[in-house]
A and B are shown apart, each in its own frame.
Chain A
């Protein structure tokens, strides 16, 4: 059976077009709708102090950019993990970043208010962000160190350790839920379902910079990851330093997803489906899958956020609900279309 595929360049241009489309849709829609014509005027530099411009520059633009960074970071990390684990079901959560971040966020939300009542402990606050970032990194480091053996990092062991540590973190979070007040519980829930609502320019700039570095770094590992598709032993015989690839993939993933999750809470499903999707339309070469998954992840998060802000106005639906709600069925359609190739 042959593989009908889009050429790499076509696929990436298409991905970029999707991001732009979702970006424009996201910029125009929301509690304060902005007409597309006005949007164009603002983006092309026609300066005027209209309310629309204030809303756009201070609220919507940072939010959109956070969406791009979050989606790109999750997408590229998903592609790295699936390539490293040689498994299309892998996702960044597998190595504990999300569960570690969630546990740390839970600790801050529930216990932080008792220990440091003066600090803000809601989504978007620096305390919560730093704690979640540190939590994600430490749990990933723990899993990585656990998987060290005589012949280097044991990928299977890392997977199993990840399952166990994720379970422990979930139990810890469960306990925090149990002792939390109603308000704290709501905050935890909100965090677990993800949102771009905490976007402030300072945080956005930081996350975007980290994700940009992560994406650039990830691209350098595209060809080694292709070789790893043959198995670690075969890749090593081709001259791939498999240990370095593993370390790089884990570090890049932990930094990108750690930064994103710390700022937005948990946005599920994007890291899982974006790479899968690119492989279905453009083939499994990581030189396409890595940038393609970043683009598709960004488009997906932007689109989901636009819907989250508009369907239940003035309320805002949790983003994680939308990414799964939109991504799931679209993924099923895709699977159906390419049924024979999965």
Chain B
């Protein structure tokens, strides 16, 4: 059970954004997609979510081309949290989260409303449920979108196929406490429920603390892919981001960096 990119290339406006990425993601692991601005992280995520089709190469879910699976079957398997997403009209936060259950409308579970409430509670937005989504702050909106994504793949699938959560900068708008809370939640879903999690992150220390693996992109190519602490060496950070750093170990033994 894997989500794979095989020599995937993407061009837009006469420029190649991804020059042949090959990477295999596994369920039960939290993969951080890292890299400087313009490295192709969001493009890669849009390939993995089948939002975009590679110009060459393939994206495979359990060995099958994602495009062949169909939008509905894919929606049951994976949820995507967008970087930002405006919602038209005065939908409440609860209604936005409920849209995550859209793919299940024909085979609803016994307690659809309960799933939505639990998802809202999981991202700490239960109290905001009756409020109009567009009046929420950026961070609150992001947490509602996260709840929507969780609601979409809330229950294990019949047949035991792996579920996937693909997230584009899920913590960008969140405050310090909610950044940690959200990533802890995602790691919990990966380790506890066997869900495959792939998130674009910018904060390397958060990636080091919560992710299992890192897929490091630079200039549209996969510079490195493996366990996060092995990918994020001080030498590699200096080469790719151009910033020197000093490693430290926190009290609980996690590798973190001070940036000079």
Q: Tell me the A residues contacting B by CB distance below 8 Å.
A: 1-3, 86-88, 223, 226-231, 233-234, 236-241, 279, 283-285, 341
- Give bound CA distance, A241 to B71, whole Å: 7
Q: Is the CB of B100 within 8 A of A238?
A: yes
Contact of B132 among A1, A86, A88, A285 (CB under 8 A): A1
Contact of B103 among A88, A226, A239 (CB under 8 A): A239
Assuming the contacts A234-B82, A238-B102, A238-B103, asked whether A229 and B87 have C-beta atoms less than 8 A apart, the reply is yes
CB contacts under 8 Å to A, within B131-152, are 131-132, 135, 152
Contact of B80 among A3, A228, A237, A240 (CB under 8 A): A237
Can you pick out 6 interface pairs between chain A and chain B where the beta carbons lie within 8 Å of each other? A2-B131, A229-B91, A234-B85, A239-B76, A241-B71, A284-B89
B86 at the interface (CB under 8 A from A): yes
Residue of A nearest to B131 (CB): A2
Q: Is the CB of A230 within 8 A of B103?
A: no
Assuming the contacts A87-B88, A229-B87, A285-B95, asked whether A240 and B82 have C-beta atoms less than 8 A apart, the reply is no
Q: Is the CB of B75 within 8 A of A238?
A: yes
Q: Is the CB of B71 within 8 A of A239?
A: yes
Contact of B51 among A3, A87, A233, A284 (CB under 8 A): A233
Q: Is the CB of A239 within 8 A of B102?
A: yes
Assuming the contacts A227-B102, A229-B91, A238-B100, asked whether A3 and B75 have C-beta atoms less than 8 A apart, the reply is no
- Give bound CA distance, A283 to B96, whole Å: 13
**Across-interface contacts of A3 in B (CB, < 8 A):** 90, 92, 130-132
Q: Is the CB of B87 within 8 A of A239?
A: no
B72 at the interface (CB under 8 A from A): yes
Indicate with 1 or 0, residue by residue over B64-94, a CB within 8 angstroms of chain A CB atoms.
0000000110111001101001111111100
The prevalent SS among residues of A at the interface is loop
Assuming the contacts A223-B102, A238-B103, asked whether A88 and B89 have C-beta atoms less than 8 A apart, the reply is yes
Extra inter-chain contacts (13) besides given A2-B92, A227-B102, CB under 8 Å: A1-B135, A2-B131, A2-B132, A88-B89, A230-B85, A234-B85, A236-B71, A237-B49, A283-B90, A283-B95, A284-B88, A284-B90, A341-B90
- Give bound CA distance, A228 to B99, whole Å: 10
- Give bound CA distance, A233 to B74, whole Å: 14
B249 at the interface (CB under 8 A from A): no
Contact of A238 among B91, B130, B152 (CB under 8 A): B152
Residue of A nearest to B75 (CB): A239
CB contacts under 8 Å to A, within B84-126, are 85-92, 95-96, 99-100, 102-103, 105
Q: Is the CB of B89 within 8 A of A223?
A: no
Q: Is the CB of B75 within 8 A of A341?
A: no
Q: Is the CB of A240 within 8 A of B71?
A: yes
CB contacts under 8 Å to A, within B169-213, are none
Q: How many Å from the CB of A279 to the closest CB on chain B?
A: 6
Q: How many Å from the CB of B3 to the closest CB on chain A?
A: 15
Q: How many Å from the CB of B94 to the closest CB on chain A?
A: 10
- Give bound CA distance, A284 to B79, whole Å: 24
- Give bound CA distance, A279 to B89, whole Å: 8
**Across-interface contacts of A341 in B (CB, < 8 A):** 90, 132
Q: Is the CB of A240 within 8 A of B102?
A: yes
Residue of B nearest to A239 (CB): B75
- Give bound CA distance, A27 to B102, whole Å: 44
- Give bound CA distance, A239 to B49, whole Å: 12
Residue of A nearest to B88 (CB): A86
**Across-interface contacts of A231 in B (CB, < 8 A):** 82, 85-86
**Across-interface contacts of A234 in B (CB, < 8 A):** 80, 82, 85
Q: Which 6 A-B pairs have the closest CB atoms?
A: A239-B75, A284-B89, A86-B88, A239-B72, A229-B88, A239-B103
Q: How many Å from the CB of B112 to the closest CB on chain A?
A: 13
**Across-interface contacts of A228 in B (CB, < 8 A):** 88
**Across-interface contacts of A230 in B (CB, < 8 A):** 85, 87, 96, 99
**Across-interface contacts of A86 in B (CB, < 8 A):** 88-89
**Across-interface contacts of A2 in B (CB, < 8 A):** 92, 130-132
Query: Which among A2, A86, A229, A230 has the greatest number of chain B C-beta atoms within 10 A?
Result: A230
Q: How many Å from the CB of A110 to the closest CB on chain B?
A: 41
**Across-interface contacts of B131 in A (CB, < 8 A):** 1-3
- Give bound CA distance, A227 to B132, whole Å: 16
Q: How many Å from the CB of B203 to the closest CB on chain A?
A: 25
**Across-interface contacts of A238 in B (CB, < 8 A):** 75, 99-100, 102-103, 152
Residue of A nearest to B102 (CB): A238
Q: How many Å from the CB of B73 to the closest CB on chain A?
A: 8
**Across-interface contacts of B95 in A (CB, < 8 A):** 226, 283-285
- Give bound CA distance, A67 to B122, whole Å: 50
- Give bound CA distance, A317 to B89, whole Å: 35
**Across-interface contacts of B87 in A (CB, < 8 A):** 229-230
- Give bound CA distance, A240 to B99, whole Å: 11
Q: How many Å from the CB of A107 to the closest CB on chain B?
A: 37
Q: How many Å from the CB of B149 to the closest CB on chain A?
A: 9
Assuming the contacts A237-B49, A238-B152, asked whether A227 and B99 have C-beta atoms less than 8 A apart, the reply is yes
- Give bound CA distance, A283 to B131, whole Å: 12
- Give bound CA distance, A63 to B76, whole Å: 49
**Across-interface contacts of B90 in A (CB, < 8 A):** 3, 279, 283-284, 341
- Give bound CA distance, A233 to B168, whole Å: 14
Q: How many Å from the CB of B175 to the closest CB on chain A?
A: 21
**Across-interface contacts of B79 in A (CB, < 8 A):** 237
- Give bound CA distance, A283 to B91, whole Å: 7
**Across-interface contacts of B76 in A (CB, < 8 A):** 239
